[in-house]
Structure 1
Amino acid sequence: MSSTTLGRAGLSLSHMGFYVNDMAKMEDFYARVLEFTVTDRGSLDTPHGKVGLVFLSRDPVVHHQIVLASGRPAQLPFNPINQISLEADSLATLRLFYRRFVEEKMEEISPVTHGNAISFYARDPEGNRLEIFIDTPWYVDQPMRVPVDFALADDALMASVERHARELPGFRPRTEWVAEMAKRMGIG
């Protein structure tokens, strides 16, 4: 549903770009492991020198969803990227990428539930935290995060997440939360 359909001026999050240190390694990871396609590449002269750019997308209609830009210092005292979140279209897809990350021996892989989502977190090759998630049909007050066992069968995993969510403050169907947010945003 578009923003204008909801009664607000048309504005939605489209893509993100971030600086990388090792362009080839990062391009390989996003293309091979996360199945993004390189749609363009090149460089631009900027006030701070030439910047190499690689544009990537998983959607043939969208020129780029991620832009990798050269110029990240090799050593940073603090990574300002909290997380890069990618929504999976199903629990099966979430599990597919989880297995792929395990096979790739990615760092800090942690499957969790937020009550309103099931996800796993891991670090990309330059330490940026990634989240791959699916929404659940429920809402619970945030923040909330507890580990989940991806070894469980789909039905058992969903039952476990729901059982835990039902015990948390704010538990309700996601549809109720969406209606409340639409009203709060003045579009409901």
Structure 2
Amino acid sequence: MHRPGFSFSHFGMYVTDIKKMEDFYTRILDFTVTDQGDLSGPNGPMHLVFLSRDPEEHHQIVLISGRPSEPSFNPINQISLKADSLGTLRQMHALLVKEGADDITPVTHGNAVSIYVRDPEGNRLELYFDLPWYVSQPMRLPVDLAGDDWVLMKRLEEHARSLPNFMPRSAWTAKMAKRMGLDSQS
């Protein structure tokens, strides 16, 4: 039994020693590195490592460099909730705007469309919908959620096709299953 709308998906956290954290999650907890790369962030360059134990999920944990040493810093980058449809995500965006939520940022990651927003205590949330294709990560670009679902999907796909390693999500999933040693298991 599950509620319609959103389901818990993944989280990101700032870390001090990204190599040590990657080693722990891959060697000890058997996660697989699915992607990694660099992005500029609000406090300078960040290195991101995407980890998953499930070939259906691009990432379940994101390690992000740049954790300050102050103990008051919250190392959790975001709490992510997966939408069951693009329509659900767009309805949530409209509701957040109507409610006057702080810092609403819709983006495309090429393989997903996301809304970043803060909860009442300032915790960062990502509400997102997976797209039916894959592109290399990390990738982030602002997106306008206006128009109907069909028009938005066409715009998102056109953009994604211009990005590195564009492929159907099913092909990426099969590739990850093989990398995780799950392709021959039933």
Q: TM-score range by the shorter chain?
A: 0.5 to 0.7
Note closer, same or farther for the CA distance 1:180–1:15 as it changes in structure 2 (3 Å cut). Answer: closer
Pair 1:126 & 2:129 matched: no
Note closer, same or farther for the CA distance 1:15–1:88 as it changes in structure 2 (3 Å cut). Answer: closer
The residue type paired with residue 181 of structure 1 is M
Contact 2:81/2:128, CA 8 A, preserved across alignment: yes
Q: Displacement of 1:14 after TM fit?
A: 8.9
Contact 2:103/2:117, CA 8 A, preserved across alignment: yes
TM-score (norm 1): 0.59
TM-score (norm 2): 0.59
Match of 1:153 among 133, 148, 170: 148
Identity of aligned residues (%): 62
The residue type paired with residue 176 of structure 2 is M
The residue type paired with residue 132 of structure 2 is P
Q: Superposition RMSD on alpha carbons, in Å?
A: 2.0
Pair 1:176 & 2:171 matched: yes
Q: Distance in 2 between matches of 1:150 and 1:112?
A: 9
Q: What does residue 114 of structure 1 align with? A: 109
User: Comparing 159-168 with 148-157, which one deviates more in the overlay?
Assistant: 148-157
Contact 2:10/2:81, CA 8 A, preserved across alignment: no
Gaps of 5+ in 2: 1-7, 12-70
Match of 2:139 among 138, 141, 144: 144
Classify the secondary structure of the residue corresponding to 1:108.
coil
Q: What does residue 101 of structure 1 align with? A: 96
Classify the secondary structure of the residue corresponding to 1:133.
strand
For the pair shown, the structure with the greater C-alpha radius of gyration is 1
Classify the secondary structure of the residue corresponding to 1:85.
strand
The residue type paired with residue 101 of structure 1 is L
Aligned residues: 117
Note closer, same or farther for the CA distance 1:101–1:181 as it changes in structure 2 (3 Å cut). Answer: same
The residue type paired with residue 171 of structure 1 is F
Instruction: Give 1:1-188 correspondences, 5 Å limit.
Output: 77-188=72-183
Moved over 6 A (4+): 13-16
Q: Distance in 2 between matches of 1:94 and 1:141?
A: 23
Q: Displacement of 1:132 after TM fit?
A: 0.6
Deviations 1:23-80 (A, max 9, x none): xxxxxxxxxxxxxxxxxxxxxxxxxxxxxxxxxxxxxxxxxxxxxxxxxxxxx84222
